[in-house]
Amino acid sequence: MRLPRHEADLPAEEAASEQDARVPEAIEDSGRAQRPEEPSREGAQAARAERREEVAPQVRLPKAARLRRRREFLLVQQRGARLYAGEVVVLALASGQPRPRIGITVSSKIGNAVARNRVKRWVREAFRAVAADLPAVDLVVIARSGAPELGLEGARRALEAARARLVGGSA
């Protein structure tokens, strides 16, 4: 038997077939919902429940409370007092600003981006807690190798210790 190789060899009329004949009946009517389910309204869950700590939800520090330029960081690093507070080094320099400002440095030696961002969130939240008690200083917080295990309470303790030394004048 020879197979047709050209359109001229094909019949002009199509054979009568059922609608959607390529889909078997078992799959065609599987009882599934016609539309996908709506997403749950609970929101995203933390990837690691043991590291879940209360941090302010996406509240940015105002620009006036942050060191933003490289030269501001360098000025504090060159002229500021070094305060070793656990797994972070806090550099402090008196500023002419009306409120304290913070800059955070977390090197890639600390871990991957997730770990670095987690440390920065902890330090920012700890700064929010102690900022009202701080004098008008520029702070640069440099995370050390043990910072990923620090946690929110550890970051608060570190900044409280730095605040105590700054206010006490023993810096």
DSSP for residue 13: S
29: number of Cβ within 10 Å: 8
Domain residue ranges in the chain:
82-168
The stretch 132-144 carries a mean pLDDT of 93
Question: Above 70 in pLDDT, residue 49?
Answer: no
The stretch 84-94 carries a mean pLDDT of 91
Of 97 and 22, the structure prediction assigns the larger pLDDT to 97
Q: Which of 54-58, 96-100, 108-112, 134-138 has the lowest mean pLDDT?
A: 54-58
Residue 109: predicted pLDDT = 94
pLDDT tens string 99-110: 999 999 999 999
User: Among 42, 141, 128, which Cα is nearest to 89's?
Assistant: 141
- Specify the CATH number of the domain 82-168: 3.30.230.10
